[in-house]
Chain A
Amino acid sequence: MSRPPMTPQKRRQPDSQTQPPALPESERIVYELIKSRKNMGIWIADIKREAGIQNIIVTKALKSLQSKNLIKDVVNVHNKSRKTFMAVEFEPSKEVSGGSWYSDGSLDTEFINILRMMCLKHIEDLRIATIEDIHKCIAASRIMKVECTMQQVLEIVRALALDKEIEELKSTGVAEFSMVQSGKICYRRSRGRQGPSVGHLSSIPCGMCPRISECTPEGVISPNTCVYYKQWLKLEF
């Protein structure tokens, strides 16, 4: 798995020594408008509205600026269909890119799943693990080609706890928690059943039925006529 290097919120400051090449007036207007939006970028429709020049000239200017490598188009995670432009020296902000878990405007599920598996494995190996322990193990394993921050590990681990794959606990400092300072938050694999349980109501068709509000004893939809019951009980008659 490879991902572009992740340095969220980091941006190169424009070098005050280097001046942009001399640009035609229309390109200069468009370029300065885009640059003014820094890491938020600007939608093409907004450029056309605010530049005060004809749309066709704006389009030509954008093409030219892109070929000169002065601007780039980025995907806005909240509006993927909107063409958004940004000066090349800026990295898209979290609002635009979606944050460190997004790649090209979509959730990087491959990266997330790999990190989930690694966190689970290390928690299982360590039996009781803090965030620092898990982060250290992931870094030491060198499986990830990109750096993974402690914050990212924390977010993944919290999602695992929501899925009931692991438990979040406070260390008591004794017995199995002896390696962890008392009172510190730590994690372990769920002792009993892992993952969600099957509830009593959800184990019967009525629990999942989308028509339950229309179901009545003598109605068209009733237990006696219910197709879900027939399927569940494998009754052919």
Chain B
Amino acid sequence: MVSQDALNLAVSLMTSHFGDLVAKVCGCLLQGGTLSLQEIVRCTELSNSQVKNGLLVLIQHNCVQAFSVPKQAGAGGATKSLTQYMALFDNILHRMRFTKFLAIVRDDLGPQCETLLEGLLQHGRLTFDQLVVRATSKQSEDSSSIRDVLRKNLERLVHGQYVERCPRPEPFIAPTSEEGTASARRRSAKSKEETYSLEQQAMIAAALSHAERFSVITDSGRESSDVKDADKQDVSVGDKRKFEVLELDEEVQAAITETEVLWRANFQKFVHCLEKKACVANVRSRLGLDAGVVLEALVESSDQEKDNFVKASMDGILEAVRGKPGGISMTLEHIRIVLDQLGCSSSIEDNNVFYKMEVQCIIESCQNDEVESLVLSRYGKEAYRIFRLLIKKGSLVETEQISDITFVEKKVAQGILYKLWNDDYLYMQKVISIGAGQLQHFLWKVEKHSLWELVLNHMYHAALNLNQKIAHIVEQEQEVLQAREKREQLRKSRMILELSLLKVDDALMLFHDFKR
């Protein structure tokens, strides 16, 4: 369940993108959790068809996932299936950052791929044929040449994992029993059997295998053979037989792939890209340009996409560093020292030296920086020093000790600590010592988990406010069409707000999407 601030932001986004009706359905799911159609109708007080239309839009735009569960018809009756719907909060928020996703693809693959991705983001999910129709309507070129170019660009996007096949639209979730969901258990990498919630089971069941997700359309419309082989290995025995039976001739396969396979943006990939970018930016600002260059090189040469670390060979890092501004002058020794300072561990595999680094420690550093900055701006320099001490200690510290270490007079320190505690930035514990009379001691600590939640909600609220202010300014711009100076002032204000929203969104990703 999401917090009220998160809910408000999500509903606001849905309202501005799709209107009140869709926003109402979405809000109902975010608040109520997984619901059936009838439950949504009851909750929203909309008609059946209105809710259905709302759900269709939300599913089309990857904001809702449907799944079926068994439903007992009655005593002795046949088991039917009931469709349930769950909102995908992360995907709803991603709608705020489409411009960032487009910029990533533009930088990596060029403007044509960016345009193709734009279509997918605008429409949520499209088949290849639909992409062709969209492109043809905008250009006057011959449709077959457009088709070829589009196919190549789509392949590039899929190879880069920026685009994927859509998940299964409505997987059936069998009841949790001894058999359980075989696929859910098999996919679990943990040795002990985990209990997944219904929603987690639905997501697992809907997900395609890695090979299926990124199975490209080749020139002849045939899926590449090595992908097909990998796909075959990935399925169970029963599914394998079905696969062989359904194997059709190449032309029909191509037709199915182009007309029926739905493609969408792979948000996971974009989140990874933005995460690495944030890490590089943080390291650059903390440790200098050289450290930023080396980390960027390590990230680019790493082939670890899903894990919490980046790992690359020294040769790969060296090559990547040399290609960067200022990189050519960096010696091997200097690069080794920087890698050491970054906290990388090294190992030797196949006579090559590999460097590995946990991304999480940089993310934590970014998060600490963000919260410390908040404390500084809200409570001042002394509060900042005190807060930094407590974050570093990670345990309870007594007032007098805080006062001594931070060079803040005890009474002043007490006042600051009280203010921070009152605003839920700190946890406080009172201890009474009985010696020569009773003495009260106050111990203080930063409870990261609860504070990080508080800060995240603050960010949701700030993002909502910025969105609202931008909309307000746009309205005002319409009203002052004749007054040039006022319009110019409003335009500048809107730019400041939009840039600020991008920054706040970066912070949101830091606390919501990049966390492990």
Binding site for B on A (CB under 8 A): 77-78, 98-99, 101, 106-107, 112, 155, 158-159, 162-164, 169, 172, 174-176, 190-193, 196-204, 206-208, 212, 215, 217, 222-224, 226, 229, 232-237
Contacts and interface: CB of A to CB of B under 8 A. Distances in A.
A196 B372 contact: yes
B294 interface: no
A114 to B, nearest CB: 13
A202 B466 CA distance: 13
A235 B485 CA distance: 12
A78 B411 CA distance: 8
Contact of A191 (B286, B409, B507): B286
B80 interface: no
Given A162-B389, A199-B370, 12 more contacts: A99-B404, A112-B407, A162-B392, A172-B340, A204-B500, A206-B462, A212-B458, A212-B461, A215-B461, A223-B469, A233-B493, A233-B496
Determine the main DSSP class of B at the interface with A.
Answer: helix
Contacts of B507: 199-201
27 contacts: A107-B407, A107-B408, A162-B385, A162-B389, A162-B405, A163-B385, A164-B388, A175-B334, A192-B285, A198-B373, A199-B370, A199-B371, A199-B507, A200-B370, A200-B503, A201-B462, A201-B507, A206-B458, A206-B461, A206-B466, A207-B374, A207-B377, A212-B461, A222-B468, A223-B469, A223-B472, A226-B469
A222 B466 CA distance: 11
Contact of A217 (B389, B468, B503): B468
Contacts of B381: 163
Range for the number of chain B residues in contact with chain A? 35 or more
B465 interface: yes
Contacts of B405: 155, 158-159, 162
Determine the main DSSP class of A at the interface with B.
Answer: loop
Contacts of A112: 407
A223 B504 contact: no
Interface of B: 8, 12, 284-288, 291, 333-334, 337, 340-341, 369-374, 376-378, 381, 384-385, 388-389, 392, 404-410, 455, 458-459, 461-462, 464-466, 468-469, 472, 486, 489-490, 493, 496-497, 500, 503-504, 506-507
Nearest to B289: A192
Contacts of B376: 196, 202
Contacts of B291: 191-192
A203 B503 contact: yes
Nearest to A78: B410
A160 to B, nearest CB: 10
Nearest to B502: A200
Contacts of B486: 237
Given A99-B404, A235-B489, A201 B455 contact: yes
Top 6 A-B residue pairs of the complex, sorted by shortest distance between their CB atoms = A199-B373, A206-B462, A191-B288, A200-B507, A202-B377, A200-B503
B406 A162 contact: yes
Contact of B458 (A101, A201, A233, A237): A201
Contacts of A98: 410
A192 B284 contact: yes
Contact of B468 (A196, A202, A223): A223
Nearest to A217: B468
Contact of B288 (A162, A175, A192, A197): A192
Contacts of A232: 496
A208 B377 contact: yes
Nearest to B404: A99
A176 B341 CA distance: 12
A193 B407 contact: no
Contacts of B384: 163, 196
A159 B385 contact: yes
A236 B483 CA distance: 14
A224 B459 contact: no
Contacts of A174: 337
B284 to A, nearest CB: 7
Contact of B469 (A198, A208, A224): A224
A233 B497 CA distance: 9
Contact of A223 (B408, B466, B496): B466
Given A192-B288, A201-B370, A159 B406 contact: yes
Given A159-B407, A162-B406, A224-B468, A201 B374 contact: yes
Nearest to B464: A217
Contacts of B407: 101, 107, 112, 155, 159
Contacts of A204: 462, 466, 500, 503-504
Nearest to A99: B404
A193 to B, nearest CB: 5
Contact of B504 (A99, A200, A234): A200
A101 B403 CA distance: 11
B76 to A, nearest CB: 52
Contacts of A222: 468
B337 A200 contact: no
B373 A197 contact: yes
A223 B465 contact: yes
Contacts of A206: 458, 461-462, 465-466
Nearest to B504: A200
A177 to B, nearest CB: 9
Contacts of A162: 385, 388-389, 392, 405-406
Contacts of B372: 196, 199
Contacts of B374: 199, 201-202, 207
A163 B389 CA distance: 10
A169 B291 CA distance: 15
Nearest to A197: B369
A229 B500 CA distance: 12
A237 B503 CA distance: 26
Nearest to A213: B461
Given A112-B407, A203-B500, A208 B378 contact: yes
Nearest to B503: A200
B373, B472, B507: most-surrounded residue (chain A CB, <10 A): B373
B410 A200 contact: no
Nearest to A233: B493
Contacts of A190: 286
A208 B341 CA distance: 34
A174 B340 CA distance: 11
A47 B371 CA distance: 49
Contacts of A99: 404
Contacts of B288: 191-192
Contacts of B503: 200, 203-204
A96 to B, nearest CB: 13
Nearest to B410: A78
